[in-house]
């Protein structure tokens, strides 16, 4: 089965380190899948990496300026334009090495007739949208078409190709490929019923991985019954929350799209340990590893700044004022919020947690 990743999927995990990315890589190693990455996606993701590095560099400079102003001390920044350039080049090299290790196929930029694309833009045919935007998406779509078998060709199974993208408005209608794209495949004598689209890697692996059912059921039942001497799932999650949740911004646990930076000012200061684990599922990942998925609702203490004028003009929000005079413009407030999360763990047969990922759900 061929898999194509959109830029927004790699953007969510630049280094392929999260559990669902790891699952994908291990499936590639096992030969069950082949990953195809359009060159335009590679170029875009390196550019997005550069933008994130530039943003971090500016934040470091801003904080150093604050230290200089407050402490009257001059500190040298660990970053500069050359350092950022080197980090970007190193990232591209690292990504190319990973692609080579997992036999990822790079798809060259398509040689598509510009008249064909211009006509689609004027007709607002997907993936062009109503504003005639979508040139990049159309290049990716042209790459995808190059991987689809012709209408008269026999193929062993369906789907032949999976496209993973969270740009569902331009590629999908509901959970299916958009009708415009289906019609285009039919008109070009390509098999339109062999393409599946998923919104994120988790949705993809949840639907594609058919792992060992008996072992999964046994492990899940024992987890639900807390039937292990030296392994307690809630304690593992609490340890992760203590180390990787408290003290971080809530945006760390939210999905985001390229160019869309969520609010980074809501700092997690504490959580309540009374959360319950529900909707537990277990999948066999390999000979000695399991994927554990669950849902939890965490009662979380947050701190953030609000404009004084906003606070006094609208008292609907239930804020606890921590510092009403942080400066002349803002005050520091706190709020308790119950936040729903998906939690994913990779646990080996020796009951060692190899990796854990927490993602905020809507």
pLDDT in tens, 173-215: 777 888 888 888 888 888 888 888 888 999 888 876 543 455 6
Are residues 199 and 52 both part of a single domain?
yes
Q: How many CB atoms neighbour CB 86 within 10 A?
A: 11
pLDDT of residue 132: 43
How far lies 274's CA from each of 269, 271, 296, 359, in Å? 16, 9, 10, 19
Q: Which residues of 106-118 are buried (b: 16+ CB within 10 A; e: fewer)?
A: ebeebeeeeeebe
Q: How many CB atoms neighbour CB 342 within 10 A?
A: 16
Q: Are 11 and 45 in contact (CB under 8 A)?
A: yes
Q: Are 226 and 232 in contact (CB under 8 A)?
A: yes
pLDDT of residue 153: 72
The model's pTM: 0.68
Asked if residue 222 belongs to a domain, the reply is no
Are residues 235 and 213 both part of a single domain?
no
Are residues 338 and 250 both part of a single domain?
yes
How many Cα atoms are found within 13 Å in the side-chain-facing hemisphere of 286?
17
261 or 237: which carries more pLDDT confidence? 237
Which residue matches tokens 């402490």?
71
Q: Are 346 and 285 in contact (CB under 8 A)?
A: yes
Are residues 257 and 134 both part of a single domain?
no
Number of domains in the chain: 2
Are residues 259 and 335 both part of a single domain?
yes
- The token duo for 249 is 């911004």
> For the purposes of burial, counting CB atoms within 10 Å of the CB of 31, is it exposed (0-12), middle (13-18) or buried (19 or more)?
exposed
In 3D space, the residue among 248, 238, 241, 229 whose CA is nearest the CA of residue 303 turns out to be 248
Are residues 242 and 136 both part of a single domain?
no
Q: State mean pLDDT over 44-50.
A: 93
Q: Are 302 and 268 in contact (CB under 8 A)?
A: yes
Rg (alpha carbons) of the chain, rounded to whole number: 24
Instruction: Print the domain residue range for 322.
Output: 227-360
Rounded to an integer, what distance in angstroms lies between the CA atom of residue 310 and that of residue 293? Answer: 40
Are residues 25 and 139 both part of a single domain?
yes
Are residues 192 and 66 both part of a single domain?
yes
Are residues 172 and 107 both part of a single domain?
yes
Question: Quick one: pLDDT band at residue 258, thresholds 50, 70, 90?
Answer: low
């Amino acid at each position: 089965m061929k898999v194509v990743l959109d830029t927004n999927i790699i953007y969510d995990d630049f280094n392929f380190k999260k559990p669902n990315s790891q699952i994908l890589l291990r499936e590639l190693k096992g030969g069950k899948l082949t990953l195809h990455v359009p060159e335009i996606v590679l170029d875009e993701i390196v550019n997005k990496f550069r933008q994130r590095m530039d943003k971090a560099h500016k934040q470091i400079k801003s904080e150093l300026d604050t230290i200089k102003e407050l402490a009257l001390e001059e500190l040298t920044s660990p970053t500069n334009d050359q350092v950022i350039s080197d980090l970007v080049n190193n990232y591209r090299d690292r990504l190319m090495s990973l692609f080579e290790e997992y036999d990822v196929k790079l798809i060259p930029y398509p040689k598509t007739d510009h008249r064909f694309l211009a006509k689609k833009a004027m007709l607002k045919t997907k993936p062009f949208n109503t504003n005639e935007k979508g040139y990049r998406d159309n290049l990716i779509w042209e790459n995808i078409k190059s991987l689809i078998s012709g209408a008269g060709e026999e193929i062993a199974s369906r789907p032949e190709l999976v496209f993973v993208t969270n740009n569902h408005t331009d590629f999908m209608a509901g959970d299916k490929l958009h009708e415009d794209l289906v019609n285009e495949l039919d008109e070009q004598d390509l098999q339109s019923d062999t393409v599946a689209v998923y919104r994120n890697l988790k949705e993809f692996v949840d639907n594609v991985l058919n792992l060992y059912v008996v072992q999964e059921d046994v492990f899940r039942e024992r987890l639900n019954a807390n039937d292990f001497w030296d392994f307690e799932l809630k304690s593992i999650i609490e340890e992760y929350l203590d180390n990787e949740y408290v003290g971080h911004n809530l945006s760390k646990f939210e999905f985001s799209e390229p160019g869309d930076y969520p609010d980074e000012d809501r700092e997690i200061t504490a959580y309540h340990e009374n959360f319950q684990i529900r909707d537990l599922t277990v999948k066999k990942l390999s000979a000695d590893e399991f994927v554990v998925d669950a849902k939890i609702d965490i009662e979380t203490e947050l701190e953030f700044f609000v404009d004084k004028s906003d606070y006094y003009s609208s008292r609907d929000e239930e804020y606890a004022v921590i510092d009403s005079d942080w400066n002349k413009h803002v005050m520091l407030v706190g709020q308790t919020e119950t936040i729903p999360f998906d939690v994913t763990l990779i646990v080996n047969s020796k009951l060692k947690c190899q990796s854990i990922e927490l993602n905020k759900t809507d």
